[in-house]
Amino acid sequence: MRAARTLIRWVLGFAVGLGGIVGPVAAQVSHPMDPLAWGEYWTVLEVLQADGHLDEETRFSHVVLHEPSKTDTWAWTTEAPIPRAAFAVIKQGDRTFEAVVDVTNARLASWNEVRGVQPNWLSEEFFSMTGVVKQHPEFVRALERRGYDDLSFVECVTLPPGMYDKPEWRDKRVGLVNCEDTRRVRNTWTRQIEGLTAVVDMNAREVLEVVDEGVVPVPTVSSDFDEASVGPLRTHATPLNVEQPLGPGFKINGHEVAWGRWSFHVRPDQRSGAVISLVRYHQDERVRPILYQGFLSEIFVPYMDPSTPWYARNFLDAGEYSTGGLAKPLEPGIDCPDNARYFDFIVAGDNGRPRTVERTVCLFERSAGDAVWRHRDETAKGRPKRDLVVRFAAVLGNYDYYFDWTFQQDGTIRVGVGSTGIAEAKMVRDRMAMAAGTNGDPGSNGDLMSDDRADAYGRFVAENIVAVNHDHYFNFRLDLDVDGPINRFQRDKLEQRRLPADHVRRSIWVVNSETLRNEASAKLNVDLK
């Protein structure tokens, strides 16, 4: 299989008008925005147990810090502590509850059932229906038609179905189950048993429907990408070392960071990966508030194939798949440079019990040899640029995402998203694309409007394997408090202005500025007509 490598660079920059490996950071609660500590997770469990809200069916979607009010947080000092609280989303059978626990005083502050909603996918649910579908007669017969009389090496995974208002799905926890042949391969993404889907109700643990769209051969091409499979990996010709012999240029106090004129709080978070709070800019004797809070809100990844189950691949990666923690351990020297510092994180499992995920967020200074400013003349030279980067990485199925919050010396904060990993691919009957009019030349897409083409909705990346077309949308929540809470969002549009007929030039562009009153007026319109 030809390596299907993806690199996405999405950068959000906003100006605010301001002109060797070191060990993990100590997880000490000293700030009202610090993540929950180990003992605080246990306080949540013990309080819920004492109040009769834990039983064998209790599962935790997530347990996170219940943040104090914005006003109290901005005004917080070490002399005026704020009580700590935790927020939990809990699944019990087919019911969903939200709980707030006062962990400072070890008491239950609220317990409310939320009707008409369901929590995100739990870790145990991805594989919980394998035994059910393997015992379903219709599903078993469909596997037998594909040559699977022995299901020992067939593994199945259950995924959310997308937001479709099908009457027969209402009031059920519906999942779509697909299976793969795991024999003799490490990369099972190219061993999907295509064309066969079981629609299941996970609460009732029953199969609602078996969808068989026809037998598709499982590819036999090798797609493993480890060194034993692809041979020696490329190396760099010479070493490139990043050294700070006098230590980093930033200071860390718990989860508070100070660097140059910037200061802020960073918190690893189960759903968002990392939350940046209380960003301030220190200008002379003045401390200016800039950003109350910013974090990743959602990742939306819709796939463009109408077949079952591909039509349901409208992934909400942060909302549906953040159980167990969105951020995953960072590998020193690969995910972060040698001069990075790391924050560990404690996350709740499906049973609510805490566990530590090491190196979930890294912090480092970066210099790429650029200038932060230059104007070369007789009186001035350039000024070398150095950035401060807060990074976390998420592994979501086939994709590995990088998220960088970059603080710059020119008063700019940039949010960058990068992605790598492997393609999520569809198994097809055709070996390769054979486009009409190309003399049988494989690899051409040909007539993409023909739905009967195997690659009508993607690209061949190997024999019998098509990487399906899809999009990635990243949504961030930014609560800006530039010099105070009363801010306006201004959008500048470039518009053409025609010049008089007797002018030597035909047109110029001008800036049309408008103040947006709400989020709806700032929405992104994607017109595919």
Choosing from 399, 401, 402, 457, the catalytic residue is: 399
Question: What is d(CA 172, CA 129) in angstroms, rounded to the nearest whole number?
Answer: 15
- Report helix, strand or coil for 412: strand
Question: What is d(CA 418, CA 400) in angstroms, rounded to the nearest whole number?
Answer: 8
Residues, the chain: 529
| Residue 399 a catalytic site member | yes
User: Contact at 8 Å (CB) between 298 and 461?
Assistant: no
Extract long-range pairs of 105-109: CB within 8 Å, 24+ residues apart: 106/43, 106/46, 106/47, 107/47, 108/47, 108/48, 108/51, 108/53, 109/85
* 66, two tokens: 């219940």
* 137, two tokens: 């007669």
DSSP 272-310: TEEEEEEEEEEETTEEEEEEEEEEEEEEEEEB---STTG
* 191, two tokens: 């061993």
DSSP 501-515: TTSSS-EEEEEEEEE
- Report helix, strand or coil for 83: coil
Q: Which residues contact 495 (CB under 8 A, 6 or more apart)?
A: 509, 510, 511, 512
Bridging pattern class, strands 85-92 and 95-102:
antiparallel
Choosing from 34, 201, 317, 404, the catalytic residue is: 317
The CA-based dihedral angle spanning residues 69, 72, 75, 77, taken in that order and rounded to the nearest 10 degrees: -120
Sequence letter at residue 280: R
User: Contact at 8 Å (CB) between 319 and 120?
Assistant: yes
Best CA proximity match to 4, nearest among 367, 354, 462: 462
Residues carrying an active site annotation = 317, 399
